[in-house]
Amino acid sequence: MDYNSTRKPGSETLASASSSSDSDTGGASPPPRKKHRASAAEGAGEPGASAVLTGLSGVVLGRGAHSQATSAIHFNRSVVNNLSSSMQANGAGQGQESSELSCLNSAQNGESSSVGGTHSNGLLSSTDNGNNVGTSNGSSVGPCTGTSAASTASSSEVGSLKKKKRLTQAEEDVIRLIGQHLHGLGLNQTVDLLMQESGCRLEHPSATKFRNHVMEGEWDKVSICLQWLNNRTYSGQHGICEREILLQKNQSILGRMKFLLLQQKYLEYLEDGKVLEALQVLRGELTPLKYNTDRIHVLSGYLMCSHAEDLRAKAEWEGKGTASRCRLLDKLQTYLPPSVMLPPRRLHTLLRQAVELQRDRCLYHNTKLDNNLDSVSLLLDHVCSRLQFPCYTQQILTEHCNEVWFCKFSNDGTKLATGSKDTTVIIWQVDPETHQLKLLRTLEGHAYGVSYLAWSPDDTYLIACGPDDCSELWLWNVQTGELRTKMSQSHEDSLTSVAWNPDGKRFVTGGQRGQFYQCDLDGNLLDSWEGVRVQCLWCLNDGRIVLASDTHQRIRGYNFEDLTDRNIVQEDHPIMSFTVSKNGRLALLNVATQGVHLWDLQDRVLVRKYQGVTQGFYTIHSCFGGHNEDFIASGSEDHKVYIWHRRGELPIAELTGHTRTVNCVSWNPAIPSLMASASDDGTVRIWGPAPFLESQEADGHMDS
């Protein structure tokens, strides 16, 4: 079929003009152009006049020579004006022609086709290499060189403007989170613009109404919105069983939300002195819910409050107003899905969780956790340098003249006690600023040496025990340096371990020869447990249960009040020593030939086995340490101190410096960056962070 034969009247003129332009190489003869102009002028009243005009404008603007661009524009302008006047004079097809001419001038005949500026004649044009390129219906007509590229670029740019990028669910969530945060800052116009441009919705309109009604205290309207929100939340196509489950869940959640709303309504009535209205809410609305009857009894007691201040104090309530209603809204939002209403301050919550997670994963984080985001930078990841960790020898204490068997910081962190084979106990004072230790006093007279020390809860007293052959126990007043009690029940006893009761008025002691006593500060025997060969002791925070490791490779709990006992930990090898975390949940065991084990005392399960340490049948004492007791440290028979993060089995630091077995490690409970270790080499090393000027040297003192 001949394509040209099917064209409408007037289309031939446009086709011939376009064909002439496409084949033009810049040297086309003027006469054909004049002929087209004449025919266009003569046929102004015909339907094809607009098409002729369009093609003519493209030909005129598309002249290839750069020097003729200006004259072509002026010529085109005059042609348009003449044709426009001619059409108005003839009066034929005036409405159609003027409409099409208007479309020409605005370049909006079906689609936008301009990327450039607007000229004085109303035509939109773009510039390509200095040549003006006219557009009509999205088709570009001009010189052969650069015309096709300009047309393609223009079309693609227009398409990108018209088609918005489809956002993913994650992108929509981020936009909503940002919008909520900006709304909280009061930047409401910015939020409106963000939602309008992104096509997202911060929350459902009914949720907005619900929020506004709550903040205005319009409780009747709140109930209507609440019912609608719950119906929308749990509606949908589900199976019969699933619908029943959702319905039950819906009713339960709806009851909780209604209770919170009515409680606020009730309290506000009471504060306003509307006792009868409050009583009606209590009897007619709260009670029929049959939810939390204990709370309803408490609410009924508020009717006796004489004034508003008394009500707010007893109810622990901020009173009628924005503060209490905001808190109510935060509680209500937790019951609605995020598709309807975002949880309160969701972006802030996510950022705080991210910061906490980075801190948890930081191997050397050893400072107080601050949940305030203002204290950290969100622009950088959280990283703690190991140079800030207690891995550098700050001080070496050499006052003992024989093996040092034990060391222990006081509970307030201001003192350090060290016990030695040389029969002395030395009390060291910790400088709170420089963290340097100086000798405070020496306690003498322990004939068998000192293998264990225990501070009283208030740090007033210190108990010293000896090795296996020692049947005596010394209770010292640290403040005065006086010996208050020297206790010995029998010369056949072996008192090698001791633990204070949390009340500070009693202690328990025992040894491997079957002695297990509870005594007062004067050494008087209060209770005893026969036949228990004790290796190590610890009193739990409840003051009733005493933990004791024995020769049966276990830890048992003994209750001196009702004389009951039960098994808690069972190992396969001898437990040489153990210590318990401050909260009483975790126990750290040094197990012969196995190393350091972490147990959960509540669940009675082995949590972790720490690697690296060399543990034979020597008694080595490990410890919890660092801020929040996130770290574990232990001595070793290979002359090193090992440090682990509590959640990792591999050591994060191996401290060298001692020349013989490290018997005991103690972490300062008040200064997380300070640690002490006692060794058979006769020294006590104080470990701390590397000094700033010697940070490079610090790397040589530790391996990790």
C-alpha to C-alpha distances, 13 to 50, 105, 299, nearest whole angstrom:
10, 20, 89
Whether residue 138 has pLDDT greater than 90: no
Q: Which of 369-378, 440-449, 477-486, 559-568 has the lowest mean pLDDT?
A: 369-378
- Cα 394 to its chain centre, rounded Å, is 36
Kindly report the pTM of this predicted structure.
0.65
Tokens of 288: 């029929």
C-alpha to C-alpha distances, 1 to 7, 9, 155, 533, nearest whole angstrom:
12, 18, 31, 112
Using 50, 70 and 90 to split pLDDT, how confident is the model at 369?
low
- For residue 381, the SS3 value is coil
Q: Which residues contact 180 (CB under 8 A, 6 or more apart)?
A: 202, 342, 345, 346, 347
Cα–Cα dist 650/648, whole Å = 6
Looking at residue 600, what is its pLDDT? Answer: 96
Whether residue 117 has pLDDT greater than 70: no
The residue with greater pLDDT, 366 or 110, is: 366
Looking at residue 366, what is its pLDDT? Answer: 84
Whether residue 567 has pLDDT greater than 60: yes
Region 666-690: mean pLDDT is: 95
Region 652-665: mean pLDDT is: 96
Per cent of the chain over pLDDT 70 is 71
Looking at residue 361, what is its pLDDT? Answer: 84
Region 665-678: mean pLDDT is: 96
Q: What is the amino acid identity at position 110?
A: G
Tokens of 394: 């700050």
Rounded to the nearest 5°, which phi and psi values hold at 650? -90, 145
Q: Which of 39-48, 132-141, 287-296, 409-418 has the highest mean pLDDT?
A: 409-418
pLDDT in tens, 265-286: 999 999 999 999 999 999 999 9
Q: Which of 89-93, 108-112, 341-345 has the highest mean pLDDT?
A: 341-345
172: number of Cβ within 10 Å: 14
Looking at residue 681, what is its pLDDT? Answer: 96
Looking at residue 619, what is its pLDDT? Answer: 93
Cα–Cα dist 565/364, whole Å = 40
Contact 623, 633 (CB under 8 A): yes
Tokens of 267: 């309290």
Cα angle 56, 58, 64; round to 5: 115
pLDDT in tens, 44-94: 344 444 443 344 344 333 444 444 444 444 444 454 454 444 444 444 444
Q: Count CA atoms closer than 13 A to 320's CA, side-chain side.
A: 13
C-alpha to C-alpha distances, 481 to 407, 410, 437, 448, nearest whole angstrom:
18, 15, 18, 20
Name the average pLDDT for the chain.
Answer: 77
User: Following DSSP, what letter does each residue of 25-86 receive, concatenated?
Assistant: -S---HHHHHHHHHHHHHTTTSTTHHHHHHHHHHHHHT-S-GGGHHHHHHHHHHHHHHHHHH
Tokens of 669: 């409970």
- Cα 82 to its chain centre, rounded Å, is 72
Whether residue 42 has pLDDT greater than 60: no
Whether residue 40 has pLDDT greater than 80: no
- For residue 136, the SS3 value is strand
pLDDT in tens, 523-545: 899 998 888 899 999 999 988 89
Using 50, 70 and 90 to split pLDDT, how confident is the model at 414?
very high
Q: Which of 167-181, 403-417, 547-561 has the highest mean pLDDT?
A: 403-417
Rounded to the nearest 5°, which phi and psi values hold at 163? -100, 115
Contact 62, 134 (CB under 8 A): yes
Region 650-673: mean pLDDT is: 96
Whether residue 149 has pLDDT greater than 90: no
Cα–Cα dist 400/261, whole Å = 70
Q: Which of 82-96, 489-503, 551-565 has the lowest mean pLDDT?
A: 82-96
Looking at residue 24, what is its pLDDT? Answer: 43
Looking at residue 221, what is its pLDDT? Answer: 87
Ramachandran area for residue 425 (φ above 0: left; ψ -120 to 50: alpha; else beta) = beta
pLDDT in tens, 200-223: 888 878 888 888 899 998 888 888
**H/E run at residue 596:** strand 595-600
Looking at residue 375, what is its pLDDT? Answer: 73
C-alpha to C-alpha distances, 279 to 229, 270, 649, 657, nearest whole angstrom:
28, 9, 61, 76
Contact 580, 540 (CB under 8 A): yes
Using 50, 70 and 90 to split pLDDT, how confident is the model at 99?
very low
Cα–Cα dist 482/278, whole Å = 68
Nearest Cα neighbor of 459 from 527, 508, 523, 410 is: 410
Cα–Cα dist 630/359, whole Å = 11
Cα angle 171, 226, 178; round to 5: 20
384: number of Cβ within 10 Å: 14
Q: Which residues contact 79 (CB under 8 A, 6 or more apart)?
A: 37, 56, 57, 60
108: number of Cβ within 10 Å: 13
Cα–Cα dist 299/278, whole Å = 10
Is the C-alpha dihedral spanning 468, 488, 587, 557 positive or negative?
positive
Whether residue 365 has pLDDT greater than 70: yes
Q: Which residues contact 596 (CB under 8 A, 6 or more apart)?
A: 588, 589, 590, 609, 610, 613, 615, 622, 632, 634, 642, 644
Looking at residue 250, what is its pLDDT? Answer: 65
Tokens of 259: 């209770």
What pairs with residue 475 in β-bridges?
A: 463, 485
Looking at residue 162, what is its pLDDT? Answer: 46
- For residue 253, the SS3 value is helix
C-alpha to C-alpha distances, 682 to 34, 532, 657, nearest whole angstrom:
114, 33, 12
The residue with greater pLDDT, 700 or 248, is: 248
What pairs with residue 223 in β-bridges?
A: none
Cα–Cα dist 450/462, whole Å = 12
Burial (Cβ within 10 Å: 0-12, 13-18, ≥19) of residue 573: middle
Rounded to the nearest 5°, which phi and psi values hold at 247? -65, -45
Give the CA radius of gyration of the chain. 44
Looking at residue 104, what is its pLDDT? Answer: 34
Looking at residue 249, what is its pLDDT? Answer: 58
Looking at residue 13, what is its pLDDT? Answer: 37
